[in-house]
Amino acid sequence: MNIVKTSIPDVLIFEPIIHGDDRGYFMESFRLSHFAEVDPSINFVQDNQSKSKKGTLRGLHYQLQFPQGKLVRVLSGEVFDVVVDIRKGSENFGKWVGTVLSGENKKQLWAPAGFAHGFYVLSDFAELAYKCTEYYHPEDDYSLLWNDEDIGIDWPIMESDPLLSDKDKNANSFANASLFQ
């Protein structure tokens, strides 16, 4: 597996080595030893999966009391996946990284604890799977405004306003949000 650094050194892209032939393909989607090189304390405790239709934007979600590191991949379809550094005191505080993840490219994005995460669905549907380093706690679920000018995410061209949950419609601005210490 190739591990690619991004403009924020803690955020990584994992590119699996794909062994394919006329029957299909095989790849390792996770290997603990790769993460031991990055941070030996990483321990995944929960796997999540979601399916969303084109134009859906989920996020930017984060946790404060029980922060989750997330290893995100797309099983089918295509998304623009984004993480924002919300760690006060970080030299990358308020900066973001975005990349296209798809069932075709099979890339995975590592978003460490202390980052807000979100994605926008580019294909008709997209199915995501992600490993988490902490259990989900509904009382510790926060959302940053997806189009906050202080963050300035360069989302792909949208044909219309994104489809948002009520939580994401009412998300906090970066300036008014409680953020990771």
Q: How far is CA 54 from CA 20, 59, 108, 169, in A?
A: 29, 15, 20, 17
Is residue 19 annotated as a catalytic residue, yes or no? no
Q: What gap in Å lies between CA 117 and CA 47, rounded to an integer?
A: 16
Q: What gap in Å lies between CA 150 and CA 157, rounded to an integer?
A: 19
Q: What percent helix, strand, coil does the chain show, rounded to 5?
A: 10, 45, 50
Per annotation, catalytic residue among 34, 61, 62, 137 = 61
Q: What gap in Å lies between CA 163 and CA 30, rounded to an integer?
A: 31
Alpha-carbon torsion angle 17, 19, 22, 23, nearest 10: -110
Cα-Cα-Cα-Cα dihedral sign, residues 165, 78, 16, 47: positive
Per annotation, catalytic residue among 62, 120, 130, 142 = 130
Residues labelled as active-site residues: 61, 130
